[in-house]
Structure 1
């Protein structure tokens, strides 16, 4: 019988299940990137560039040249902005637009984080449910095999499913008390 176990190492030392999961995540990211509108892609590209050292070097060169030329340190060039008001205005307008692009990009990333958090919660709840069922099954097997167990209150508690609504309600109530 020739089959691949979920624990058999795949290429690169990954199990097939892990390789499938990584591929699914990467496919999902590519799909989200492809589904993004032109405006979102432009905002992301501008934010990426604004966060690079190339952006810093370009601004050092441009602003440095502007300041040198307008403070009279380059005698061959007449000063066109001796008080540097135009430079300050240009820098302010640039800052307004850059901060807007960064905020747009952060909003998109926050939405992606919310989706990941929802997925994490769903996986955790599924894991909790499966663990609860496994505890009940192990206890039933122990009973059938007449294996002595210390069926204490903790085991009884572990056999109960977690109610996520109750947990969220308790967290929200705690947050509300802390804010008062």
Structure 2
């Protein structure tokens, strides 16, 4: 009796067999996402501002898979091709995003208000600018990003320079 072995290259539907194995799959050789899916995910995340969770539900994968895809950790060639296309078409490249997929856009007045808030809290006085949530809402940044500035994990050098200027009695504006 002859045994016929069929060799599956995993190339059907544009899926990579290597990606499946590299991600720890044993039985399946194919990745869950196709190249077209990856391209759509990149556009939806970076250009249309959809969240990781919404994309994960839509494509039937985990949020970690989507995160690693949009950061270029998995499918790095597709990620680089997409970035080249964005540059070639003259569109702006993606900017940093916070955990809610909102662009992190801090302006000097926002940093100054956050520094005034921090200074008042450290002295034990009421804040002249309101709460962190109010400052974030006034300047169009997420509350979590504003807290990251206060914790020193985002724009730390900028925040420290403004804070030091305010402590010395300055206006907090670094161009003065």
TM bucket normalised to smaller: under 0.3
TM-score (norm 2): 0.22
* Larger RCO: 1 or 2 (CA < 8 Å, sep 6+): 1
TM-score (norm 1): 0.21
